[in-house]
Structure formats: C-alpha cells, structure tokens
Structure 1
Amino acid sequence: MVTRRSFLGGLVGAAIAPSIANAAADRDIEPEFLRDWLRADRIPPMVDRLPTHPRIVNMKESGRRAGTYGGTVRTIIGSAKDIRYMTIYGYARLVGYDTKLQFQPDILMGFTSENDSVFTFYLREGHRWSDGSPFTADDFRYWWEDVILNSELTPGGGALELRPHGELPKFEMLDQTTVRYTWSKPNPNFMPALAGPLPLVIFGPGKYLKQFHKKYQDDFRLSALMKENRVKKWADLHIKMSRASRPENPDLPMLDPWVNTTRPPAEQFVFVRNPFFHRVDENGVQLPYIDKFILNVSSSSIIAAKAGAGESDLQATGIDFNDYTFLKDAEKRFPVKVNLWKQARGSRVALLPNLNCADEVWRKLFSDVRFRRALSLAVDRHEINMVAFYGLGRASADTVLPESPLYKPEYADAFIAHDPDTANKLLDEIGLDKRDDEGFRLLPDGRRAEITVETAGESNLDTDVLELVRDHWKVIGLALYTRTSQRDIFRNRAMSGSIMMSIWFGIDNGIATADMSPGQLAPTLDDQLQWPLWGMNYLSAGQAGKAPDLPEVKQLVALLNQWGETTMFEEREAIWHQMLSLYTQQVFSIGLINSTLQPILRSAKLQNVPEQALYGFDPTSFLGIYMPDCFWLEEA
C-alpha cells in the first residue's frame, strides 16, 4: 500500500501572492533600514527581492498582531559559539514544525512524500540567498555531488539520516525548482531531521562555495585562501566557510531572517535583517520586523545578573528557574517582562549512571536494574520539587510529558515513589550488605560505595539538587560526591568512561509524536551520557565505540530499527509505547522533576512573544517555532 503525504503550501500563497506583490508595488513598505541600500542600488525593490510566491504568515489567524519595522534587540550569550542560537531561533527550514508540531513547508513551496521513501521538494520560484544570488535546485545538486559524495568533505559517507539502511538515496534534480530523494526502504527520520533545531544539511550556496572547492578552484588561489583562513587542508577550508549552523563567516549567503556581520573573535556580534527573506505578513510587509540583533558575549555565570540589570531585550538561554525571583523583581526597575514557559524535556534534571563506566565494579552495578531502581526509589522528589522548583514541577521518571499523545501515567510513575526501605532491600539483595563504621555500604572489592556525580557546572540548580540527593542516598548507605568541569572536558570524560554518573537534562523531546524518531530512547549518539560508547557504536555504524551487551538495550535498538522500517502510524505508535515502557522500567536514566518552568525575559515593548509556550531544544528549537521574525518593537 502506498501512503502519500503532500503539502503544497504555495497553493495558498499562489492565490494571494499577486495581491501581496501589488501591495508592495502600490505603497512604500520598504524597511527604513534598507533605504541606503536601495538608493545605492545594492538591492532591488521588495517586489523583486521576494520569491514569486513568498510564504505568507497571517498574524491575525495565529493570534498575533501585525507589526511594524525597526529596532534593535539585545541578547547575551555565554561564548562566541553561541551565535548558533540565531540559526536555531530564526528557524528557517525547508520543512518546519508549526506550534501544533505538524509539518509545514517553509523555505519549500511544497513537498510530497510517498511511503516515506520518495520525497519530492518544490522550491519557491525567484527565491534568493541573502546576497541576492538565486536559490535553486543547483544548490541541492552542488551539496549532493560536491559535498556529500566527496570523500574528503564527507569521509563518513553522509549523515545517518541520509543512510538509515546503509545506503544513500538516489538524488534527482528534476528542474530548477524541483528535487527528489528516493530510498529503497522507508526513511521516516528524513523530515524530522530537516525540521530539527540543527537541521540536516542537504543544500548550500554553490556559487559562493565553489571558490573553496578543489574541483572548481585553482591550486594557487586555494592555497592562498587556506593560508588566509589558517587551515592546512582544502576540506577544512570548505567546512569552515560553509558552516551555516554556527554562522561565523559573514560572507556566507544565508536564508535566515537575520545574517551575521561580525567576524570572530569578537565580544559583540551584530546580525542584521536579510533583505531577501522569504516570508511576509498578510499586509505584504516583509519579515522580519526587527532590523537588528546584537549578541553580547559574557561569562555564562553572570548572564542572569546582566539580564536582570536591564542589559537584554530578549533572554531565554543562560537563565534558569532559580533566577526567576530575581528576574521578576527586575520588572520594577526596568521596562522588561518575565514570562514562564513549560520545559519540554523529559526531565529538567536527571541522574545518568554511565553504563560504559571504565571502573569494572561500578559498571557491573550500574548494569544491574535493581541498583538503578534502588537509586531512583531512594530520591525524595517531593522535597526536590518544593525546594528547587517551589512545587511547580512534577515528580516524574524521564519520559514524555502529558502534552505528548504518547504519554501514559505508568511511564511517569515508574520507580519514582520515595521508598528507601525497598531501595535498601534491593541493595542488600545485590550483595551490597556490608557497611563500614559510618554506615556506608562496601563494594565487593572492599571500597566504600562512593558515587561521584559530575556536572558541567552551567547551572546552580544542578548543584542544589545534588545537595538534596546526597542526603537521600546517605539513608541507603551510598556516599555522593560532586565534581564540576567545563562542558567539553565533561563530555570527553564521559566518552572515556572516566565519569561514573552525571547530572544533566533528561530526554530532549518530551512532547514527541509517533512520527518522530524514538532514537533518544536507545543508544544512538555519543553524547548520551548513560551509554556514550554504545551511542558512538551506533553513530559510526559499528566502526567505533562498543556494541551494547545488555539484552534490554539491544531490544531498544531492535525496536528503533523496526520503527524505521514501517510506514504505518499504528505500528510506529506501538513501537514507541514498547520503548517508553522498557526505558522507564529499566530506569536507564533517573528522571527527577519535569514540567518545570523556564523564564523568558523580554523587553516590555517587544510584541508577539507568547506569554505561555513550550520551551525546549527539540522539536521546538527554543524560540524557533514561535517565529521571532514576527516579534516587533512597539516603539519602532
């Protein structure tokens, strides 16, 4: 049976695009910010800058107000790398999620999908990159033939989302506005990967990038460019100059609402409006409304203090719930508002025993489900919720939230009751029944049972929670110590097996639907802290890391593979439920509290920012699905 999904978003646009174009021609709706560029003939008039059928965002239908051009928004980032948030917030995607987490064409005018195996993409005629050059199917062809199929640029053979069954798809450029990708088997990960916060890259500005490619550039000029950009290989040069997810190259043509104008290193990055952005409101006004974003680099530890001192007009990252009282108090001193959005992760804080721990004794303990269950049962989540979250969160295992159609109470309730008596019995049963003079249990090799929980040190909240857990685990004879290191070191220690246990977020996507990949419930990535070596093994198709040796983990991987082979919604839903049940019953991550609240600070003049929303990395792309290009400053 062939299942066919199609969404030709341009059909609506096609019907009213002429009126939009006429509106642009009949009245002067050019942004003041672009006047000098227009007078200097650096850019054409709006009617010639927009695609023939732009994406039309109806503000009234979505409960927002049509805005006006202008203004600058300041935000604070913890390091220069965090300019990547502009790509995440801008959320210009071939296909993206709407606020109901349904797919909709964005950069694309439309698409069709047959059996999740044949995907045909239709581009918007007349769409342009930020430098004014045409955005066409040639940009997909360039990336396919000259990047993905080039072994020096893509030594691994391409992203897993492109080769879920070991082979890349067939690529076809049907005409200048139509491309097709065909797999012999279903690839249900393809569309979610394109809609994600860090989207799968399948196109790039070929006209610009050819100057960095050895196929198109002479050796002398290529060597000069490599020297100028301080790289030793031409492939490193191409990767550096083409990286859109972290837009460090101001010359790189983009499709985002704002484009970077600042070269690193810098303490301040300035992003300005893209004159060729493809969205307009119902009045023919080209988005984004806001002219400029200024990103000021600061130490992560003082972002909240600076935001509360009136130095940010929009702040979501670098602040946490334990900053809420301070930030709310700032409303009395500065023209700012602080809203609370619900975090979309499976757990705001989760304890992750490293099943790939290098210490053989601890690895054996962590691999015993009775030990993981004992650790979970010993935690008093009610106390954590009251002390750290003022009672506003929910005690829960690390699983999907009630907002997900996959939610079941038994997943959330798995081994979260505060039951130190049962925890003690489980530990005795395992063989940890000997204690020292202070009441701490002894390991089989005679060492005291001391668990070091490591943190990246990016949130005081983690430290506060660990102080409480230390007391809870002491009751069952386990000593807890904490260690803090920088994120990069933290990740490397996890990969090497040096970390016994870590505190981090739970599963990224707590609002999943059955059509989204359940890969977060199985070892699929090397940054999953409970099984990084198994995740690396999956990621490298068995070339690195280690293969799982726990039967239940093998079962999770098998179920994930089954999910990827079916096109039937009912079968995908059933597989999700099997995996959620297995994951929570096995307590592979010890979820503590979810449905917690995330402060979002904004200027009181900034309009169209939702008062309540879901906040998370995947699938909401933090602010992304709420379209910051529709935010506007009332004073402007």
Structure 2
Amino acid sequence: MKHIKKIIVVMIVAVIGIQVYNQFTSNVTGEAQEDKVLNLSVASEPVMDPAFVTDSYSMPMIKNILEGLTRPTNDGEIVPAMAESWDVSEDGKTYTFHLREGIQWNNGDPVTANDFEYAWKRIINPETAAANASKMFIIEGAEAYFMGEGSQEDVKINAVDEETFEVTLTEPAPYFIELTARQTTMMPVHQATVEANPSWATEAGEQFVSNGPFNFVEWNHNGDYTLKKNEGYWDVDNVDLDGVYVRIIEDSMTANMSFESGELDFIGIPFNTIPADAIDSYRANGDMDVTEIGATYMYKLNTTDEIMSNVNIRRALSLAINRQELIDNVVKGEQTPAKGGIAPTVAGFEEDRGYFEDADYDTARDYLAQGMEELGYDDTAAMPIVIQTNDNDSHMAVAQFIQSEWERELGVQATIETTEINVHFESMNQLNYQIGRIGPTVDFNSAYAFLEHYYSADTGQNRTGWENAEYQEILDKVLFEEDEAVQHEMYMEAERILMDEMPFIPIYYYSNPQVKSERMNNLFVDGMVDVQLKEVTINE
C-alpha cells in the first residue's frame, strides 16, 4: 500500500510539473510549446549571492546568470568573457584586464571595472562574512583586510578606469586566470541593487540584475524558477535557448520519473543524480554516459566534537568501509574508491598512493580499541555516533550501507539524521554536526585546489575544525617551488598528513552518470562540474 501511495504522489507531481511547464513556455515568448526551453531539476533552492555560494547545485546556475572576466568552454579552454583581453606583468603577479566595449547589465547599465572592484572587495570585507573569502587571499592585501589587520585601501584590486581592471597577487599563480572563470567569488554584482535591496539575492526574480547569458524571470520558492535569454548579453547571437525552466525536486526517484515522462532534459551531476535503482537499466539500454569529474564523495568529521576529536576513532571509521562493495552494489556509477584527498583527475595522482587499505577491518578494530581507551569508553553502545546527510534517496542508501558496515565490523551503532539540504550545509558550516556527508568540488584542476580546503580551521570549505601547522607550512611553500618533481612530493606529503589525521573520510571519487533527452545537444558537464548553458541547442 505504501508503494502504491508513493506512485500516486509521483504521478500527481508529474502532472503538476507539466502544467507549470506549459505556463512557463507561454510566459517566455507567448508561444506555448514552441520555445527553445531547456527543462532541468535541482535538488535544492539556489543560493544567488556569489558571496555565499558553496553548494554544487547553485554554482552552475549562478555562473550562467552572472559572467566573470573569463569563462570555460565545453572543452575546458578558458576564453575571454567580460574581459576581451589581459596582460600579465613580467614577475607574473599583476594582471591587467581590458573589458569589452558596450557590455551591460540586463537593466541597461554598463558593466564597468568598478563593478568588479566593488564585488571582489565586498567578498573580502569582513562585514560581508563571505563563505569563500579565502579564495581571494592570493590577492595582495586581501587576507590582511579580511582578518582585520589591514585596510581596504591596501588591497590590490583597482579599477584603473571604466574599462581597465588591475589585480596584483601575493605571488605568481598560473591558475589565476582559471579562477576568474570558475570561482563565483570573482563574479561581478550590481552595486546599486545590492546596496538598495537587502533581499536582492534571497528573493531573486525580475529585480535580480545580471550580466550573463540568462536572466532570472521568476522564483517560486521550493517549487521552481525560470531563466530567460538575456537579450542585452554581449554574445546573445550565440545563445540558442530562449529560456531554462528549473524545478526543485529533492527526491532523485521523483526527478527520474519526471525525466522518463519527458518533463526533464537531463539527469546527472551537478543538478541531481540518477537513483541507483535506475542505473542498471540506463546502462543496459545504452542511454547513460559516464564522465570523470574532479570531486570526492566524503564524510567530513567535526574534530571539535568529543568523539571525533580522537584521531584513532576517525581512522577506525574510515578503514571499516568496503568502498568497492559500496560502489558495486549501492551507487553503481563506475566510481573509484577514494583513499586520498586529491582526485585522480589531477596529473600525477591517477593511481592509489597507498595511504591505507580499503575494508581493513582488523586495523580498524585496533584503532577503535585504542581510541575508546583514550576517550574512556568501555562499550561502543555508550559512544554516540551520528551520520548527518541531506534528505536524498541516494545519500541515504550510502549512509545505511556504512551504518551496517560499522555495526557489523566494529560494533558501532550509528544513527542517521536527514535534513533539508540547505539546513544540512549550514549546520556543517557552523560545526553543528558530528559526521556529515558532502561532495566538494574545486575551482581548478590542481592538487593545491583540493588541499587548500584544509589550510586552516577557518577556511570556508574546511567544515571540520581541523588544522595542522606542518600542513600549513607545506602549502605556504609549495606554490613557490619551481621543480615540478619536488613540488609533487610536497603535495604528496601534505596529502599524507591529511590521510594520517583523517579530518574527513574519503569514500569514492565521483564519476558522473548522466542521461540526456534527444531534443537537446551540447549540455556538457566538464571535469570541474561547470556547465555552459549558452552552448546548449534544442533540435528543431
């Protein structure tokens, strides 16, 4: 009976979805069903302020509504966007960007270098409390200003004139141009709107001022939102879509049903995931593509928690997971067991580095016994362990598998708690959790991009409370090392510290199983989980 009720609910949701979609296509240009509209779903409400975007569902959307100095293409090339060109000083530290003539916000205001200066300085303004302000610390004076040890005037972010934007770095960083394409903190925002309307991002709609290929049209919270082609966009002639209709569907089974009924054009990361129960069927029919992406599915551990503060408990929990069995029987998406902190998309890190063995139950039990003795526990039943994840069938299945592993092999009885995804991430940001599921992505394909998340306890993507002085010292020096072999060894040493201290449990390196409708082309998710909706076309 419960199964029948679930099917009825899904059918009702599907009918409502069709009705909303028909209304949307009528509203975009007034010609229902004839518009070139891409139909997507995401698992959560988007965060539309670049200062606070940390989740992988919001990032691809905001990067198609706002546009930075550069952008990535489908083949990974970084090309001019708001900036038509740039110069780099001989010492590799000063970048001078030359903005295009005639670029504008969708309200008609010109996009100028002042917009970038305002937006970037807003990120590092300590009063903003931006989630990823540390991403800007490569800029001279940025960290000191953010930490209250310097002034805004000392930050080397300057609008030389309306079409010239200059930035000076603390040291040469060959990846900096890629950051300007991929990092949301480097997107411009419309200053007058931000300062005049406190709800400009939380109630984004027609009042949201954008400069990218698409505009916000409407946002029905917890229901759907719609994007429309920005006719004032500098490259509008190369945007095929009239609009994008995005339904918010947290349940992966419901999203999959919507895809199968023709209401959605894509299922896969970064918008949602194919439910494990559907993967075998899609694979057998030849409908599913699998691509590699630079991200790791992990359980972060709150090292400020009494139990998770013990490194031997952390090691025990990590070693008592059979990652390959989890992949083969639960997630089924051709993932790779993760036994390190750097994804195999990075050159030189394709192979296992041997930090620990998968499903090493005997060693796990030894670590557990030592950790319990250090904490004063005689019985695992008295030691509370809580896995927190967002409310999603796929993540719940992983949690249940790991829960079973820990109980069978360690006698540890873990409780699983689920919350709405934004609540889940916020509790992790506040260290109000014990064990938390997350799948962080990076901004450029480098070992440093993965390792910098744990530079200090205050780093925006850390979320574990862990830091280590030796680890910090390596990261402070590694970018200055010119010998690539030595630099690689330094990265390996930093990763070894991570895997020895285990502030997170790496579970698997992501792959991206995805299915696409036949009515559209060129929806490509690159290795950094970026999507260029401006390149998507709809078949006539």
State the TM-score, normalizing by the size of structure 2: 0.75
Kindly tell me: are residues 247 and 124 of structure 1, through their superposed partners in 2, closer, same or farther at Cα, counting changes over 3 Å? farther
> Match of 1:345, SS?
strand
Give the superposition deviation at 1:327. 7.6
In the aligned structure 1, how far is the partner of 2:427 from the partner of 2:343?
Answer: 31
- How far apart are 1:410 and its partner, in Å? 4.2
Superposed, 1:305-454 pairs within 5 Å as: 305-316=257-268, 317-322=271-276, 324-325=278-279, 328=282, 338-346=288-296, 348=297, 350-357=298-305, 359=306, 362-365=307-310, 368=311, 370-390=312-332, 392-407=334-349, 409-411=351-353, 413-430=354-371, 432=373, 443-444=376-377, 448=381, 450-454=383-387
* Aligned mates of 2:92, 2:277 — CA distance in 1: 44
Q: Shift of residue 259 of structure 1?
A: 0.6
One of 405, 415, 436 as aligned partner of 1:481 = 415
Post-superposition offset of 1:175: 3.4
CA drift at 1:165:
4.1
> Could you tell me the percent identity over the aligned residues?
16
In the other structure, the counterpart of 1:287 is 238
Cα distance between partner residues in 2 of 1:516 and 1:529: 12
Kept in 2: contact 1:90–1:629 (CA 8 A)? no
> Which letter does structure 2 place at the counterpart of 1:421?
D
Equivalent residue for 1:159, pick from 133, 140, 143: 133
Residue 253 in structure 1 maps to residue 209 in structure 2: yes
Q: Which residue, 521, 533, 536 being the options, matches 1:628?
A: 533
Aligned residues of 1:272 and 1:291 also touching (Cα < 8 A): yes
- What are the superposed Cα offsets for residues 204-253 of structure 1, whole Å, 9 maximum, x if unpaired? 445xx1xx68xxxxxxxxxxxxxxxxxxxxx5x44533x4xx78142343
Residue number in structure 1 paired with 2:36? 71
For 1:18-46, what per-residue CA distance to the aligned partner results, in whole angstroms no more than 9, with x for missing partners?
Answer: xxxxxxxxxxxxxxx9999xxxxxxxxxx
The one-letter code of the counterpart of 1:257 is P
Structure 1 residues 445 and 469 mapped into 2: Cα distance closer, same or farther (>3 Å)? same
CA shift, 1:110, in A, is 1.2
Query: 1:525/1:398 Cα in 2 relative to 1: closer, same or farther (>3 Å)?
Result: farther
Aligned length: 483
1:295-331 residue CA offsets vs partner (Å, 9 max, x unmatched):
2344545323222322112343233351543883998
Match of 1:558 in 2: 473
| Offset at residue 573 of structure 1 (A) | 4.7
Q: Does the CA-based 8 Å contact 2:44-2:421 persist in structure 1?
A: no
Q: Supply the distance in 1 between the matched residues of 2:74 and 2:418 (Cα, whole angstroms).
A: 37
- 1:193-204 alignment runs, 5 A limit: 193-201=179-187, 203-204=188-189
Matches of residues 26-175 of structure 1 in structure 2 within 5 Å? 71-81=36-46, 84=58, 85-89=60-64, 92-98=67-73, 101=76, 103-114=78-89, 115-140=91-116, 154=128, 159-160=133-134, 161=136, 162=139, 163-167=141-145, 168-175=154-161
- Cα distance in 2 for residues equivalent to 1:174 and 1:527: 30
Inter-CA distance 330–364: structure 2 relative to 1 (3 Å threshold): closer
| Post-superposition CA distance 1:417-468 (Å, at most 9, x none) | 32222222333445649xxxxxxxx953666354523233333223222333
Do the aligned partners of residues 429 and 518 (structure 1) sit closer, same or farther apart at CA in structure 2, a change above 3 Å counting?
Answer: closer
Instruction: Supply the AA of the counterpart residue of 1:452.
Output: I
Counterpart in the other structure of 2:51? none
Residue aligning to 1:602 = 516
Matching residue of 1:58:
none
1:227-242 correspondence runs (5 A):
237-241=196-200
- Segments of structure 2 that go 5 or more residues without pairing to the other structure are 1-26, 49-57, 146-153
TM-score (norm 1): 0.65
User: AA paired with 1:131?
Assistant: N
Distance across 2 between alignment mates of 1:410 and 1:326: 27
Distance 1:578 1:258, change over 3 A: same
Instruction: Note the aligned Cα RMSD (angstroms).
Output: 4.0
Shift of the alpha carbon at 1:355? 0.8
Which of residues 500, 516, 519 in structure 1 aligns to 2:434? 500
Contact 1:89 1:628 in 2 (8 A): yes
Letter in structure 2 aligned against 1:585: D
- 1:586 aligned onto 2:517: no
Q: Give the Cα–Cα distance (whole angstroms) in 2 for the partners of residues 324 and 503 of structure 1.
A: 22
In 1, Cα distance between the equivalents of 2:120 and 2:67? Answer: 20
For residues 129-158 of structure 1, give each alpha carbon's deviation from its aligned partner in whole angstroms, at most 9, with x where no partner exists. Answer: 22333323343456578x679887x47899
Q: Contact conserved, 2:240 with 2:535, CA < 8 A, in 1?
A: yes
DSSP-derived class of the 2:303 partner: coil
Q: How does 1:605-616 map to 2 (within 5 A)?
A: 605-610=519-524, 614=526
Q: 1:352 & 1:157 partners in 2: Cα distance?
A: 17
Structure 1 pair 402/329, CA: closer, same or farther in 2 (3 Å)? Answer: closer
Task: Decide whether the 8 Å contact of 1:451 with 1:501 is kept in 2.
Answer: no
SS state at 1:293 partner:
strand
What secondary structure sits across from 1:166 in the alignment?
A: helix
Match for 1:513 among 446, 449, 452? 446
- Kept in 2, the 8 Å contact 1:95–1:104? The answer is yes
Distance 1:293 1:103, change over 3 A: closer
Residue 120 of structure 1: how far off its partner (Å):
0.6
CA distance in 1, matches of 2:395, 2:223: 28
Deviation at 1:179, TM superposition (A): 1.8
Aligned 8 A contact 1:269 1:296 in 2: yes
Going from structure 1 to structure 2, the CA distance change for 1:481 and 1:452 (only over 3 Å counts) comes to same
Contact 2:390 2:424 in 1 (8 A): no
CA spacing shift, 1:529–1:164, aligned 2, 3 Å: closer
1:534-573 counterparts in 2 under 5 A? 548=467, 553-563=468-478, 566=480, 568=482, 570=484, 573=488
